[in-house]
């Protein structure tokens, strides 16, 4: 049975900046430190994490919300895509980023910590630069 979780963090940038970086190939790569190719439109494909992650963007609300089908190379070919929803809320001059990751196939694990280690920590460092 598929599972899911929710993780949150404070990112030192406004929601619009976080949204724009997430949906830009160059900024996403700079933000995470790994290669990324992103078609920034609804229906657009993306590849991130040096090819470890692939998916399709399902919904976009500028500066507020990103919804994507999401999978890694660890998923079996027969596994359906999981789904992420990224919520961006202003918190002063920062952003409360809440990520809901659902429909993760049985046998897959480590993604909750992966978001913290490979996204949230590098994002905080990226946006904290002067």
Task: Give this prediction's pTM.
Answer: 0.95
CB within 8 Å of 118: residues ≥ 6 apart: 32, 34, 49
Report the chain's C-alpha Rg in angstroms: 14
Q: What pLDDT digit, counting tens, does each position of 34-57 carry?
A: 999 999 999 999 999 999 999 999
- Give yes or no for residue 112 having a pLDDT over 80: yes
Tell me the residue range of the domain where 48 lies.
3-128
Q: How far is CA 39 from the centre of its chain?
A: 14
Domain count, the chain: 1
Mean of all residue pLDDT scores within the chain: 96
Q: What is the pLDDT of residue 53?
A: 97
The percent of residues above 70 in pLDDT, for the chain, comes to 100
CB within 8 Å of 108: residues ≥ 6 apart: 72, 74, 75, 79
Write the CATH number for 34: 3.30.530.20
pLDDT band of 123, cuts 50, 70, 90: very high
pLDDT band of 90, cuts 50, 70, 90: very high
Q: Using an 8 Å Cβ cutoff, are 9 and 97 in contact?
A: yes
Q: Using an 8 Å Cβ cutoff, are 63 and 78 in contact?
A: no
Q: What is the pLDDT of residue 1?
A: 77
């Amino acid at each position: 049975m598929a599972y899911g979780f929710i993780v949150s963090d404070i990112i030192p940038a406004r929601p619009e900046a976080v949204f724009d970086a997430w949906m830009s190939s160059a900024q996403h790569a700079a933000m995470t430190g790994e290669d990324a190719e992103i078609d920034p439109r609804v229906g657009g494909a993306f590849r991130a994490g040096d090819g470890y992650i692939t998916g399709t963007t399902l919904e976009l609300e500028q500066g507020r919300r990103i919804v994507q089908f999401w999978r890694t190379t660890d998923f079996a070919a027969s596994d359906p895509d999981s789904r992420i929803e990224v919520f961006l809320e202003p918190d002063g001059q920062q952003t409360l980023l809440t990520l809901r990751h659902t429909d993760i196939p049985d046998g897959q694990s480590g993604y909750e910590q992966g978001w913290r280690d490979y996204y949230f920590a590098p994002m905080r460092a990226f946006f904290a630069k002067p």
